[in-house]
Amino acid sequence: MTHRIKYIQIKAEHPPSILETLKMSLKRSWHILIEALIILVSPFLSIYHSFWPRSYDTTVDPEAEEFFWHPGGQPKKGVLFIHGFASSPQIFRKYGEMFLERGYIVSGVRLAGHGTSIAHFASTNAVDWYLSAREKYFELQEQCEEVSIIAHSMGTLLAIILASLYPIKSMVLLSSPIYVRPRPMYRVHFLLRPVSFLIKYWPLEKSQSQLLDRLGIYAYRKNPLRAVAGLFDCITVAQERLPLVKCPVLLMLGDRDEHIDLTTIDYYRENIGSEILDVWIAPNASHVITETPENDVLEKKIEEHMMKYNPPN
């Protein structure tokens, strides 16, 4: 018996060309290519700066001077104040005076590159800022038994890192940017360093500059992109160290903060290692929460937290 074999004709699509394949690969891995380009270019940029070093003014503005005040006697408690990104210890002077009167040794650190010149600021990074805070913590620790921290903005990130490594008694964190709004610029923060070689500074929004002028707050009116990249480095490390923070924490956020979403509260509750996390939302307050219309309430809550968890002698 003869069997007939039936053949089925299959029409296959033409395989993609080499050019089409390359386009598809680039579309899927563009960020890897950018990182590779950064690695290739970085050594040449380092050589460039070694031949043409950058100069800048390191003179400290009188308004931005740090402070270290002792109440006299033998106080056992101290408070370390850590200001935020592009700011200065000026923002905490009135709080330093308040706790000095209550018998605490108080220290307001001026982070590296702050309070001098914008070019000096551009030359510093997250490690420099952390070392500034740690140095002042050690100085304060030598003169008292227990240290608490009150910090604002980026200073809260440095405070978290310190508290994850050293025996901090308690902390007050104001406008903590550990979880920032998902703005376009924040999504591509890994590009800030390479872009900074072309665009060195980025001005503040006009509304923010006007607010700082109106409040008389010393702060830079433009941000070096390289330094902004350092801010995101601080965020990354603080997120990793937050579960190691065991001391009582008071978290205070403004309900009109232009940088931080109130979902930051949920992030803290889910990740912090401390069993004590108190939260207060300042009404009608911007990122500069110390200038809230409810300033009396804010000061009272900070004082109550300190008296409860790290009272003076």
Distances (CA, A) of 34 to 39, 40, 188: 9, 10, 12
> Is residue 292, in this structure, part of any structural domain at all?
yes
Does residue 158 contact residue 82 with C-beta atoms inside 8 Å?
yes
Residue 251 lies in a domain: yes
Residues 306, 310, 312, 313: what is their CA dihedral angle, to the nearest 10 degrees?
170
The rounded distance, in Å, linking the Cα atoms of 282 and 267 is 18
pLDDT attached to residue 218: 80
CA 243-180-196 angle, to 5 degrees, is 110
pLDDT digits over 121-151, tens only? Answer: 988 999 999 999 999 999 999 999 999 999 9
Which 3 state secondary structure label does DSSP give 55?
A: coil
The model scores a pTM over 0.85 = no
CA pair distance 257, 267, nearest whole angstrom:
16
What's the pLDDT at 44?
62
Q: Is the residue at 113 inside a domain? A: yes
Encode pLDDT of 95-123 as tens digits: 999 999 999 999 999 999 999 998 899 88
Phi–psi pair at 108, nearest 5 degrees: -110, 105
pLDDT of residue 254: 94
**Total number of domains constituting the chain:** 1
Report yes or no on 224 lying in a domain: no
CA neighbor of 77 nearest in space, from 8, 13, 141 = 141
Instruction: Indicate the residue type of 266.
Output: D
73 is a domain residue:
yes
Ranges of the chain with pLDDT below 50: 10, 50-53
Tell me what pLDDT residue 50 has.
Answer: 47
d(C-alpha 116, C-alpha 212), whole Å: 17
Alpha carbon of 210 to those of 70, 91, 150, 252: distances in Å? 35, 17, 26, 23
pLDDT at 272: 97
35 in a structural domain: no
Is 254 in contact with 281 (CB distance < 8 Å)?
Answer: yes
pLDDT at 197: 74
Q: What is the pLDDT of residue 52?
A: 45
| CATH code: domain of residue 94 | 3.40.50.1820
Domain carrying residue 259: 62-180+231-309
Identify whether 12 is part of a domain: no
In a domain? residue 300: yes
Find where tokens 């219309």 sit.
293
The reported pLDDT for the residue numbered 309 is 96
In sequence order, what are the residues at sequence separation of 6 or more whose Cβ sits closer than 8 angstroms to the Cβ of residue 215? Answer: 288, 291
Strands 105-109 and 67-69, how do they pair? antiparallel
Angle (CA) 212 152 187, round 5°: 85
